[in-house]
Chain A
Amino acid sequence: MRMTNSTTNNTSNTHLLEIEQVKKKIRMNNFYKGMLFLLPSIMLFSVFLFYPLFRTIYLSFFLTKASGDTTIFVGLENYVNMFASPLFLKSMKSTFLFVFYTVPTTILISLFLAVIANEKLKGIGFFRTIFSSTMGVSVAAASVLWLYLFNPTVGLFNQILDIFGFEAIGWLTDPKWALLSVSATTIWMNIGFTFLILLSGLQSIDSSLYESADIEGAGYFYKLRRITIPMLSPTLFFVITVTIINAFQSFGQIDILTQGGPVNETNLLVYSIYREAFVNYRFGSASAQAIVLFVLILFMTYLQFKLGERKVHYQ
Chain B
Amino acid sequence: MRKLFTFLTLGIVVLLSACSSEDNSTQGQEGDKPTSTENTQMQEVTFWHSMGGAAQESLNKIVGDFNKSQDKIHVNALYQGTYDESLTKFNAVAGSDSAPTVIQTFEIGTKAMINSGQILPIQELIDADGYDMSGLEENITKYYSLDGKFYSMPFNSSTPVMYYNKDAFKAAGLNPDAPPKTFEEVAEASKAIVESNPKMKGFALQAYGWLWEQLLANQGALLLNNDNGRKETPTEIGWSEEEGKSILNWVKNMVDDGTFANYGTNYDNMMAGFLAGDVSMFLQSSASSGDIIDNAPFEVGIAYLPYPANKVRQGVVIGGASLWMIADKPEAEQKAAWEFMKYLQTPKVQAEWHVETGYFAINPSAYQEQIVKDAWAKKPQLQVTVDQLQDTKASYATQGALMDMLPEGRKIIETALETIYNGGDVNQAHRSAIEQFNAAIKQANAARGE
Contacts and interface: CB of A to CB of B under 8 A. Distances in A.
A92 to B, nearest CB: 17
Nearest to A265: B418
A226 interface: no
A64 B449 CA distance: 9
Of A66, A259, A262, most B-chain CB atoms within 10 Å: A66
Of A86, A258, A261, A284, most B-chain CB atoms within 10 Å: A261
Given A36-B8, A280-B407, A261 B273 contact: no
Interface stretch (B56-64, B131-139, B260-268, B288-296): B260-268
A241 interface: no
Interface in B1-60: 1, 4, 7-8
A71 to B, nearest CB: 4
Contact of B264 (A65, A71, A262, A282): A262
Contacts of B408: 279-280
A172 B270 CA distance: 13
A170 interface: yes
Interface in A270-290: 275, 278-282, 284
Q: Is the interface of B mostly helix, strand, loop or mixed?
A: helix
Interface string B270-284: 001100101000000
A151 interface: yes
A226 to B, nearest CB: 50
A67 interface: yes
Nearest to B273: A153
A263 B418 contact: yes
Given A153-B278, A262-B421, A279-B408, A170 B447 contact: no
A151 B269 contact: yes
Contacts of A230: none
B207 A261 contact: yes
B118 A173 contact: no
A71 B445 CA distance: 11
B116 interface: yes
Contacts of A67: 91, 94, 116, 118
Contacts of A33: 4
A275 B265 CA distance: 15
Nearest to A264: B415
Contacts of B339: none
A170 B264 contact: yes
B112 A261 contact: no
A313 to B, nearest CB: 42
Contacts of A87: 436
Contacts of B4: 32-33, 36
Contact of B276 (A65, A153, A172, A175): A153
B447 A174 contact: no
Q: How large is the interface on A (under 10, 10 to 19, 20 to 34, 35 or more residues)?
A: 35 or more
A172 B266 contact: yes
A263 B407 contact: no
Given A71-B449, A152-B269, A66 B422 contact: no
B252 to A, nearest CB: 15
B443 interface: yes
B428 interface: no
Interface string B94-128: 10000000000000000010011010000000000
B251 to A, nearest CB: 14
A72 interface: yes
B411 interface: yes
Contacts of B443: 63, 282
Nearest to A279: B407
Given A36-B8, A151-B272, A263 B91 contact: no
Interface string A32-66: 11001000000000000000000000000001111
Given A72-B446, A263-B415, A66 B84 contact: no
Interface in B394-426: 404-405, 407-408, 411, 414-415, 418-419, 421-422, 424
B447 A71 contact: yes
B116 A259 contact: no
A173 B264 contact: yes
Contacts of A282: 443, 447
Nearest to A74: B446
Nearest to A259: B265
B88 interface: yes
A175 B423 CA distance: 11
Given A36-B4, A261-B418, A280-B405, A65 B448 contact: yes
A154 interface: yes
Nearest to B404: A66
A68 B272 contact: no
B418 A262 contact: yes
Interface in A11-31: 29
Contacts of A262: 207, 264-265, 418, 421-422
Given A67-B94, A68-B91, A173 B421 contact: yes
Contacts of B421: 173, 262
B422 A175 contact: yes
A150 to B, nearest CB: 9
Given A151-B272, A280-B405, A66 B116 contact: yes
Contacts of A63: 443, 446-447, 449
B261 to A, nearest CB: 8
Interface string B168-199: 00000000000000000000000000000000
B434 to A, nearest CB: 14
A75 to B, nearest CB: 13
Interface of A: 29, 32-33, 36, 63-68, 71-72, 86-87, 151-154, 170, 172-175, 258-259, 261-264, 275, 278-282, 284
20 contacts: A29-B1, A33-B4, A36-B4, A63-B446, A63-B447, A66-B404, A152-B273, A153-B269, A173-B263, A173-B266, A175-B422, A262-B265, A263-B418, A263-B419, A263-B424, A275-B411, A279-B84, A280-B407, A281-B91, A281-B112
Interface of B: 1, 4, 7-8, 84-85, 87-88, 91, 94, 112, 115-116, 118, 207, 262-266, 269, 272-273, 276, 278, 404-405, 407-408, 411, 414-415, 418-419, 421-422, 424, 432, 436, 440, 443, 446-449
The 8 A-B residue pairs with the shortest CB-CB distance in the complex, in nearest-first order: A173-B264, A63-B447, A280-B408, A71-B449, A262-B418, A263-B418, A67-B91, A153-B276
